[in-house]
């Protein structure tokens, strides 16, 4: 199948997390069987031995997150990319026409980013240029997100700093980059069904249930499930963040600078 030249999917990972590749691919190939976009794995190491992984391309970059994303962009050679992590697991069927529709929306509005799943925590408003979309105000917390969405490659090349990690991109980039020429948009309709299956290296309940529904066996010796306390703590932090996201992220960035 000839791949679409408008966009590619970059899945950033690492050799340490290679246990997730098989799980990610099984769900991806089930729920998006006729995906027209190249699926590119970004990793710090790949020995090419043992189990074969059904990615369209594998890019090895033993450096920082910035360099890895730039290497992926060069491999893709497309105007847009989708940024994924290896623990974003599809949980229902994807319709190609839905994705193509939002790629055209991103192009029409010169969007820096068009999220395919709106954040329930970070405030947004209806986009004046298109009532089918919401938008985020540049300079506010998590107006940049590494959740699944469509990214303009030129915007990323211009605005990802060399020393940033993925988390710096979200927390620092959201506050520091205020480019009003490229709106930060989100689909208002539930378009992209996926679950964040793992956090902080451990399985979340929703990820475990998703794998069980799809007859995927998990080795809890390799990757443990989160305890009830750990899950409760994650939801509590999410609730606190929702009270005043921008203020809280500014405080987090301040203490990070002190540690650095």
* Position 86 in a domain: yes
Residue 121 pLDDT greater than 80, yes or no:
no
Please state, for a pLDDT cut of 90, what percent of the chain lies above it. 66
Q: Alpha-carbon distance 204 to 216, whole Å?
A: 15
Q: Alpha-carbon distance 155 to 110, whole Å?
A: 10
Phi first, then psi, for residue 122 (nearest 5°) are: -90, 125
* Position 1 in a domain: no
Task: Return the pLDDT at 200.
Answer: 87
Handedness of CA 130, 3, 196, 178 (dihedral sign): negative
Residue 131 pLDDT greater than 80, yes or no:
yes
Q: Alpha-carbon distance 149 to 185, whole Å?
A: 9
* Position 54 in a domain: yes
CATH code of the domain covering residue 127: 3.90.550
Query: Once rounded to an integer, what is the mean pLDDT over residues 207-226?
Result: 95
User: 115 falls in which pLDDT band (50, 70, 90)?
Assistant: very high
Query: Once rounded to an integer, what is the mean pLDDT over residues 173-195?
Result: 89
β-bridge mates for residue 80, sequence order: 7, 152
* Position 230 in a domain: yes
Q: Is 97 helix (H, G, I), strand (E, B) or coil?
A: helix
* Position 218 in a domain: yes
Task: Return the pLDDT at 51.
Answer: 66
For 37-72, the pLDDT digits (tens) are 999 999 999 987 656 688 999 999 999 999 999 999
Task: Return the pLDDT at 236.
Answer: 62
> Other C-beta atoms within 10 Å of 129: how many?
14
Task: Return the pLDDT at 260.
Answer: 60
Of residues 243 and 149, the one with the higher pLDDT is 149
Please give the distance of CA 153 from its chain centroid, rounded to a whole number.
15
Q: Alpha-carbon distance 57 to 64, whole Å?
A: 19
Q: Is 8 helix (H, G, I), strand (E, B) or coil?
A: strand
Comparing 10-14, 27-31, 83-87, 137-141, the range with the smallest average pLDDT is 137-141
Residue 102 pLDDT greater than 70, yes or no:
yes
Number of separate domains in the chain: 1
pTM over 0.85: yes
Q: Is 3 helix (H, G, I), strand (E, B) or coil?
A: coil
* Position 58 in a domain: yes
For 224-260, the pLDDT digits (tens) are 998 887 777 666 666 655 656 565 555 555 556 666 6
- For residue 193, give the nearest of 132, 246, 116, 248 by alpha carbon: 116
Task: Return the pLDDT at 30.
Answer: 97
Supply the range of the domain harboring residue 106. Answer: 7-259
User: 89 falls in which pLDDT band (50, 70, 90)?
Assistant: very high
Task: Return the pLDDT at 182.
Answer: 93
Of residues 3 and 240, the one with the higher pLDDT is 3
Of residues 144 and 255, the one with the higher pLDDT is 144
* Position 2 in a domain: no
Q: Alpha-carbon distance 248 to 246, whole Å?
A: 6
Tokens linked to 227: 């305890």
Task: Return the pLDDT at 239.
Answer: 61
* Position 228 in a domain: yes
Query: Once rounded to an integer, what is the mean pLDDT over residues 207-221?
Result: 96
Query: Once rounded to an integer, what is the mean pLDDT over residues 131-152?
Result: 91
Residue written as token pair 């991806």: 28
């Amino acid at each position: 199948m000839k791949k679409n030249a408008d966009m590619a999917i970059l899945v950033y990972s690492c050799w340490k997390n290679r246990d997730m590749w098989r799980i990610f691919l099984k769900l991806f190939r089930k729920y998006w069987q006729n995906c027209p976009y190249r699926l590119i794995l970004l990793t710090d190491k790949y020995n090419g031995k043992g189990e074969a992984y059904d990615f369209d391309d594998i890019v090895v970059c033993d450096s920082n997150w910035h360099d890895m994303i730039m290497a992926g962009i060069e491999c893709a050679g497309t105007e847009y990319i989708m940024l994924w992590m290896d623990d974003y697991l599809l949980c229902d069927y994807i319709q190609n026409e839905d994705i193509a529709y939002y790629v055209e929306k991103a192009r029409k509005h010169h969007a820096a980013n068009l999220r395919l799943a709106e954040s329930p925590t970070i405030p947004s408003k209806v986009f004046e240029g298109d009532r089918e979309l919401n938008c985020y105000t540049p300079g506010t917390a998590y107006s940049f997100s590494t959740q699944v969405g469509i990214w303009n490659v030129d915007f990323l090349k211009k605005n990802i700093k060399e020393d940033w990690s993925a988390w710096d991109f979200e927390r620092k980039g959201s506050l520091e980059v205020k480019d009003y020429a490229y709106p930060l948009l989100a689909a208002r309709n539930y378009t992209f069904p996926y679950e964040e299956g793992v956090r902080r290296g451990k399985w979340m309940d929703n990820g475990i249930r998703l794998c069980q529904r799809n007859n995927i066996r998990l080795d809890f010796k390799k990757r443990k499930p989160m305890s009830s306390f750990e899950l409760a703590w994650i939801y509590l932090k999410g609730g606190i963040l929702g009270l005043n996201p921008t203020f809280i992220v500014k405080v987090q960035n301040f203490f990070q600078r002190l540690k650095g």
